[in-house]
A and B are shown apart, each in its own frame.
Chain A
Amino acid sequence: QSALTQPASVSGSPGQSITISCTGTSSDVGGYNYVSWYQQHPGKAPKLMIYEVSDRPSGVSNRFSGSKSGNTASLTISGLQAEDEADYYCSSYTSSSTHVLFGGGTKLTVL
Chain B
Amino acid sequence: QVQLQESGPGLVKPSETLSLTCTVSYGSIHSYYLTWIRQPPGKGLEWIGYVHYSGSTNYNPSLKSRVTISVDTSKNQFSLKLSSVTAADTAVYYCAACGYLTTVFDYWGQGTLVTVSS
Do these two chains interact? yes
How many Å lie between the Cα of A3 and that of B44 in the bound state?
Answer: 9
Range for the number of chain B residues in contact with chain A: 10 to 19
* A44, B108: Cα distance in complex, Å: 10
- The answer to whether B46 and A46 touch across the interface, beta carbons within 8 angstroms, is no
CB contacts (< 8 Å) of B62 on chain A: these are 98
Chain B 92-118 interface mask (CB, 8 Å, partner A; 1/0): 001000000111111011110000000
* B contact patch SS: loop
Query: Contacts A91-B103, A92-B103, A100-B103 given: A105-B108 contact, CB under 8 Å?
Result: no
Chain A interface residues (CB < 8 Å from chain B): 3, 34, 36, 38, 44-48, 51-52, 57, 89, 91-93, 97-105
A-B residue pairs in contact (CB < 8 Å), sample of 16? A36-B104, A38-B45, A38-B105, A44-B110, A45-B109, A46-B45, A47-B108, A48-B104, A48-B105, A52-B101, A91-B45, A91-B103, A99-B60, A100-B103, A102-B44, A104-B44
